[in-house]
A and B are shown apart, each in its own frame.
Chain A
């Protein structure tokens, strides 16, 4: 991800402002002409013409069409004025030189236009390749997601069919159970839509954290509150000092990060498992730990957990839930990295998974204001 960002910013920077293109072209032509002029006793006007054409070709390779045409005109005038006899005026002596000058001008123009055209074609080819790559990525994404979307949809369609077509045969208890299945499935669908939107934000490379002052306690408890239903069967422990300094971060992004980690912990650990969230503020940084005492990650897969589309290939014993879109943890990583932070996964010695997030952040002590 980081790589593509750097690459895209490089190509953006690579395109030089057109005003500078004009400036560079003019300076370069004048410079080359000046050097040729110094040696004009040794080299003839024809050689100078070739050197100027070469300069023009170099300029045409990376600049826009207008600066290149200007260069062509300018170099023709310079050549005529300073080098083509009679020198120091625009008059052209004999017929041979007239032919030479007009040929110089035509060659310069053809040179400029052809190089420009080649570059246009290259640009189109590159864009096509980029498009193909995006398409491949989206195909993988769609395959991986169709399962995640179809499962809850199947639940919703099946349950509503039951409720609509055979209401008389269902006990009130059964109806209620079907309805809560529909509710759970729709929430799961909503979750996937959220993940997809986040993923496309990451893919676009336009994630700009909007940082502002936030209270870690508020962040943690608001997520626990949002996940009340999922966490009902778990023991949740929050270990964050009440006077932890305010930290400057993008609330929306960090909310997604912690939501995904706590949601995963709730989903992949058995009932009564402990989920512990802690945060500390060592010097100008923030360390958040989300850990559980569930089955943890298979040791061989710890390294790949943050890969896009990763899911357990060998689910640990006792874990009945496979699936997931494989996006949750890659979003965690992307959003943490957008804060210039790191996220690490390890298995705890006593069992269970531990995620450690470290962010460089500005601190503001709550005790300073009163």
Chain B
């Protein structure tokens, strides 16, 4: 099944077409929000790459419309690089956000990661990701087959990441899910627990491979290689 690219700039569409096709994906293109929505229905794509600056509609509105029925990954590709735009898009259900200009290698890695996490079965009680094994039914976490000792909060955080692998989770979302609504501006707690968690699961905490920082926005748990 194809990847749908919704972008009004022909050069960007061409670049994406060449890049994606040479990596084995089929590509469907749309230049406007209207055309994009139509093709999302008619082609039922595996993944949508959406630009925010569309001529006929604000991309945020398009994203909301798409999310009313489309449950597979949506990656935003935009020149807008303000934190507010990124957080709004993620809150509206985007899986990932890439700012133009982008490196094609980075885009391909994000696509692979998003597609992989989309395949995962929701009922699967064990999440296995590059050496990590999170058993959601017995709350046991193993790294390279060795048992990891985690506090209750550390475990909740890691399980939340595991269930949303590949997706950027905003600070507010993580704080709300783990600590509750009244903690959404207490970023310092999240930072402390991320640091603790990284110490336990990362090879080099200064170059994390599992929990990636999205500066000013949130964190992304990387599924598979990156």
Contacts and interface: CB of A to CB of B under 8 A. Distances in A.
Interface of A: 186, 190, 210, 212-215, 217-218, 221-222, 225, 238, 242, 246, 251-252, 255, 364, 366, 368-370
Given A212-B187, A370-B151, A246 B192 contact: yes
A222 B187 contact: no
A246 B101 contact: no
B149 interface: no
Nearest to A369: B192
Interface residues of B, number: 17
Contact of B191 (A210, A214, A370): A214
Contacts, number: 43
A252 B84 CA distance: 12
A364 B188 contact: yes
Interface string B206-224: 1100000101100000000
A370 B151 CA distance: 9
Interface of B: 83, 101, 151, 187-189, 191-193, 195-196, 205-207, 213, 215-216
B207 A225 contact: yes
Contacts of A364: 188
Contacts of A214: 191
Task: Identify the 8 closest CB pairs spanning chains A and B, nearest first.
Answer: A369-B192, A213-B188, A221-B206, A364-B188, A213-B187, A212-B187, A251-B216, A366-B192
A217 B206 contact: yes
Given A222-B215, A252-B215, A252-B216, A213 B207 contact: no
Contacts of A215: 191, 195
A186 B215 contact: no
Given A218-B213, A369-B188, A370-B192, 20 more contacts: A186-B101, A190-B101, A210-B216, A213-B187, A213-B191, A217-B206, A221-B206, A225-B207, A238-B206, A242-B205, A246-B188, A251-B215, A252-B83, A252-B216, A255-B215, A366-B195, A369-B189, A369-B193, A370-B151, A370-B196
Nearest to A193: B101
A321 to B, nearest CB: 23
A204 B137 CA distance: 55
A369 B148 CA distance: 20
A214 B196 CA distance: 14
B119 to A, nearest CB: 29
Nearest to B188: A213
Contacts of A252: 83, 215-216
A321 B196 CA distance: 43
